Structure 1
Amino acid sequence: MIVTIDIPDRIAQSAELTQAELLREIAVLLFQQERITLGKAAQIAKMHPFELQKLLASRKIPIHYGLEEYEADVASLRQHGWR
């Protein structure tokens, strides 16, 4: 399933966020709320998982990452061509 979100330019401009920044913020928020795994957040943010980890660390957001999340991330990353 692909979800498309239309955000009017005036709203994005008033928030002073680029599309890439907005995607990162959505990914960080969903990860912080434990709604998605680190790998899925990295996909949303269009970042390598290690880069996302650095971003989370800079914001003092803990990495909740157990074996189940690891396995889900590995499967998801392989499915999307990450190595």
Structure 2
Amino acid sequence: MELQLTLPDDIALGLKIPPEKIKEEILKEIAFIFYAQGKASMGVARRISGLGKREFIDELGKRKIPRHYSEKDFEVDLKYAKSSQ
């Protein structure tokens, strides 16, 4: 699906973002909003944002957005932690 967004020049100029970074920043904001609202999984939100897993998790912390962490995720992490001892 392709989505096109048109910003009037005065709005684009009013943003405190370099013009070449506007698209990237809007996509990141959408990704974090959707993730925080439970509308996107971490994988989907990461793809929208263009960030890697570590970068995405770090940014969640900076934004104080709680990580959606299922029991299955916990079990996988626990198994990994036990195997690396």
Per the normalisation by structure 2, the TM-score is: 0.67
Residue of structure 2 equivalent to 1:12: 12
Residue of structure 2 equivalent to 1:53: 57
Secondary structure of the corresponding residue to residue 7 of structure 1: coil
Q: Return the alpha-carbon distance in structure 1 between the equivalents of residues 39 and 27 of structure 2.
A: 15
Q: Return the alpha-carbon distance in structure 2 between the equivalents of residues 58 and 67 of structure 1.
A: 24
Q: Return the alpha-carbon distance in structure 1 between the equivalents of residues 53 and 34 of structure 2.
A: 15
2:22 is aligned with 1:23: no
Greater C-alpha radius of gyration:
2
Q: 1:62 to 1:9 in 2, by over 3 A?
A: same
Q: 1:64 aligns with which of 58, 62, 68?
A: 68
Answer 1 or 2: higher relative contact order, Cα 8 Å, separation at least 6: 1
Please list every run of 5 or more consecutive structure 1 residues that lacks an aligned counterpart in the other structure: 71-83
Please list every run of 5 or more consecutive structure 2 residues that lacks an aligned counterpart in the other structure: 74-85
| Alignment RMSD (CA, Å) | 2.0
Residue of structure 2 equivalent to 1:43: 47
CA deviation after TM superposition for structure 1 residue 26, in Å: 0.6
How many pairs were matched up? 68
Percent identity for Structure 1 against Structure 2: 28
Per the normalisation by structure 1, the TM-score is: 0.68
**Post-superposition, which runs of at least 4 consecutive aligned residues in structure 1 deviate over 6 A?**
none
